[in-house]
Amino acid sequence: MKLDSSIQYVKGVGPKRAAMFARLKIYTIEDACLFLPRSYEDRGNVATISQIKAGENYTIIGEIMQTGMLTTPRQRRRIFEAVIGDDSGIMSAKWFQFNANYFKSIFKKGVRIMLSGTVEHSRFAFGGKQIIHPTYEILNSGDKDLTHIGRIIPIYPATEGFNQKAIRSVMKVIIDLHSHLMCEVLPLHIRQKYNLIPIDKAVRQVHFPDKGVDIQQLNKGISAGHRRLVFEEFFLLELGLAGRRQKLSEIKSGIAFKPKGALSQSLAKRLPFTLTTAQIRVLDEIKEDMSKPQPMHRLLQGDVGSGKTIVAVLSLLWAVEAGYQAAIMAPTEILAKQHYFNIHKFLDELSIECVLLKADLKTKEKQNVYEAISSGQAQVIIGTHAIIQKKVNFHKLGFIIIDEQHRFGVMQRANLMRKGVYPDVLVMTATPIPRSLALTVYGDLSLSVIDQMPPGRIPVDTKLYYERDRSRLYKFINQQVSAGGQIYIVYPLIEESEKMNLKAATDMSNHLAGDIFPHLKIGLLHGRLSGAEKEAIMRDFKAHKLNILVSTTVIEVGIDIPNASVMVIEHAERFGLAQLHQLRGRVGRGDKKSYCCLMAAYPITEEAKQRLGAMLSTRDGFMIAEEDLKIRGPGEFLGTRQSGLPDLRVANIIRDAKLLESARTEAFALLKQDAHLSKPEHKLLKDALIHKWKDKLELIQVG
């Protein structure tokens, strides 16, 4: 057997169970070794019924004497009770949450059972002792297998038809017979420096811990075995990212921009505001990168309204002055148009030709734009992913700006880069990403952060409303409109859904216009409108021809209406934290006091309470991002678009942030000493790296 051998051929598996393991994304012996338990139970304290005491945790093995259904006299709650006996006495096991048919089918008189849980005294229990909601396993006749009792046992993620006992039995066989196949790839000096145990021992300890291992550390995922596996996973991830950086640094045929800076200086003098210290610092970082022959790959982070766009424009002017074209790719047509509207005004004053490429241009207009790009007449090109189509040929592309990078896949970034010869790339995001996550997702990029807001921005007040407060909210909207303000009202859906009780933008727009605000002018914006229709509505709203704009989340990013003073978010409990923060950023962009009104429907989940609580407690995008990461976890936080990274199977970016930093430091240091992992002692490490990154190696090509 080898690590890549199919799990089907492991003793006790076969085709049927292999299909069940496949539902858990386990196909090989290696997959199984890295299939970590979700929690652990201490079943080491095995006792007879006569020995157990109230308040302590025990494992009891006995026989089912009888079962029955009870109903509590006051709350009228149903209880399933099983009476368990051994040679020393009897006791009760009780469940308040259960499937009656299933419990009746498995808890039968005479069946041997193992129970684990905390014992209570009760005068209503058989023998005066009971365990509420115990963990249980049905035992076979004469079953004395210490895989399931008498020790700390692993609890695995399960799937229908494949219970804990069956999974654990197979995992015990795999770990006992095949964990030695796990290959030691970490260099000895790193293992010694961080006191990391051998890989095969780590695998055995995380699955079937020795007696005396701290169960709290196991359940927190911070035991010695966990630390070893986490470090290696981070190390291989960061080694791959370091490889990307290394590959870029070896390119000497990139563009070393050396303009005098006349265009950027000219624009800076015309601006009606002064750049912040943070903007100036970031510009210096970008210019330093642009002056080198290695291609720039830099991530620019900044909260909503921190002034990323003007930094981007001043940066691209360096490329234009040096005789190159610059491209800006945005995720939506609305944002692309917004960029064009804001940027071309600056560029027109400097006599720079700027074009907008979008999908709904007429054939003749599109052809004219293509020709302007290929001839070099168009110096700055702004568009959606339309600019990476095969028909688009740049004359001399030297600088790329990708806005809201998290909405693009890593391959889309690569496709745009191929339109030039090693162009410089600036990736921008208004979705703050915690440092730990930025090191993981954008580990191949240098990081710049605008951590200072322009002076004079009035903080947005955030208020939480429930359905009972609706009339009060409508009164507040009327007051704001009377004072000259404009209102956004955002809904999660376009049309009423039968499955989800959400207020839809189309229905509510009609209701607001006809019943609530008949004296006001209301517009409706959503994703199914044509580009021309969207543009007309936004133009009317900007010109103050509309008092209220009812919308779906199509306005989440990039809309800039300085007069808008209130953002109402209906069913705020249904939105993600990052989305809520982005929507709040659409107001407070002018000189009016602005408000974000979160309308939530009751009852509300605990997770939704956490999200809304974070919105009420802070306006800091980075603090919100940290909270969002804690609530949702890294997988959901990133979404599915970051296809350029291997999956993390054992590491947790939040819990293991310090290990991530250490692994990153060591990975980058190792590649400095052995850039292509060509030394004999690094052969196994290089093989593991190639195996880890697999088809994504196009982006690294180590060695």
Residue 439 lies in a domain: yes
- pLDDT for position 339: 85
Phi, psi of 240, rounded to the nearest 5 degrees: -65, -45
pLDDT band, very low/low/confident/very high, at 502 (cuts 50, 70, 90): low
Residue 610 lies in a domain: yes
Residue 638 lies in a domain: no
Within a 10 A sphere around the Cβ of 349, how many other Cβ atoms? 11
Cβ-based burial of 381 (10 A; exposed 0-12, middle 13-18, buried ≥19): buried
- 132 and 186: one domain? no
Where b means 16+ CB within 10 Å and e means fewer, 297-307 reads bbbbbbbbbbb
Domain tally for the chain? 4
What are the CA-CA distances from residue 516 to residues 36, 361, 468 (Å)? 55, 38, 16
Last residue in a domain, options 587, 618, 649: 618
Rounded Cα–Cα distance for residues 152 and 116 (Å): 12
Q: Tell me the whole-structure pTM to 2 decimals.
A: 0.65
Residues in the chain: 703
Rounded Cα–Cα distance for residues 71 and 76 (Å): 6
Q: Which of 238, 660, 222, 136 is nearest to 436 (CA)?
A: 660
- 169 and 274: one domain? no
- 346 and 333: one domain? yes
CATH of the domain at 534: 3.40.50.300
Residue 305 lies in a domain: yes
Give per-residue pLDDT as tens, 629-681: 777 665 555 543 344 556 678 888 778 888 988 999 999 999 989 988 889 99
- 145 and 288: one domain? no
CA 61 vs. chain centroid, Å, equals 43
- 182 and 125: one domain? no
Last residue in a domain, options 150, 171, 199: 150
Report whether 291 contacts 256 (CB < 8 A). Answer: yes
Give percent of the chain above pLDDT 90: 37
- 143 and 180: one domain? no
Residue 680 lies in a domain: no
Last residue in a domain, options 182, 197, 213: 213
- pLDDT for position 151: 78
78-86 vs 446-450, strand pairing mode: unpaired
Q: Once rounded to an integer, what is the mean pLDDT over residues 478-484?
A: 93
Supply the range of the domain harboring residue 347: 262-421+430-450
CA 693 vs. chain centroid, Å, equals 20
Give per-residue pLDDT as tens, 253-296: 788 998 888 999 999 888 888 899 999 999 999 999 999 988 88
522-525 vs 595-600, strand pairing mode: unpaired
- 20 and 169: one domain? yes
Give per-residue pLDDT as tens, 531-572: 778 878 888 998 899 999 998 766 655 567 888 899 999 999
- 323 and 299: one domain? yes
- 275 and 140: one domain? no
- pLDDT for position 432: 67
Q: Once rounded to an integer, what is the mean pLDDT over residues 424-431?
A: 82
Q: Once rounded to an integer, what is the mean pLDDT over residues 320-341?
A: 87
Report whether 154 contacts 43 (CB < 8 A). Answer: no
